[in-house]
């Protein structure tokens, strides 16, 4: 799995999905407001998760910080997936399950990036001042 083209494709898939949802979160699109209202986190959860996803996207694209960005993306998508499974349902506002599928794809891409960079995990645990 050391093919650099494959890794960049995985990075781009995750980043494109994360970034395209920002428009809906930051413009208070009806679906986003509905989701975060249902979760009891409107508007701060919607805006906060958008900021976190933006940071994760930037970190994923920078080779030195890919692991950190992928971990953040993994955690964020885990939250999205569990919200769909236990609170929202797979299909939200007749989307055919698109948001759930996109969250799952992003989760898998981030998991691949974490696995690919697993040897850098000890470096995250060292604090350099």
Tell me the per-residue pLDDT of 3-58, one tens digit each, with 9 for 90 and over.
899 999 999 999 999 999 999 999 999 999 999 999 999 999 999 999 999 999 99
Quote the mean pLDDT of the chain.
94
pLDDT confidence bin for 81, thresholds 50/70/90: very high
Q: Identify the H or E element spanning 102.
A: helix 98-116
DSSP-assigned states of every residue in 31-85: HHHHHHHHTT-TTHHHHHHHHHHHHHHHHHHSGGGHHHHHHHHHHHHHHHHHHII
Q: Give pTM, 2 decimals.
A: 0.92
Domain with 46, as residue range(s), is 4-125
pLDDT at position 1 over 70: no
The total number of structural domains that make up the chain = 1
């Amino acid at each position: 799995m050391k093919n650099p083209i494959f890794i960049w494709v995985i990075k781009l898939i995750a980043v494109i999905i994360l970034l395209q949802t920002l428009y809906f979160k930051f413009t208070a699109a009806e679906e986003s407001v509905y989701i975060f209202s249902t979760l009891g986190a409107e508007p701060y959860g919607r805006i906060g998760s958008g900021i976190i996803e933006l940071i994760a996207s930037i970190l994923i694209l920078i080779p030195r910080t890919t692991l950190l960005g992928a971990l953040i993306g993994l955690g964020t998508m885990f939250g999205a997936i569990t919200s769909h499974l236990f609170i929202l349902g797979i299909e939200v506002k007749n989307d055919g399950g698109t948001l759930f599928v996109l969250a799952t794809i992003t989760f898998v891409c981030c998991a691949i990036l974490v696995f690919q960079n697993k040897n850098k995990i000890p470096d995250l645990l060292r604090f350099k001042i």
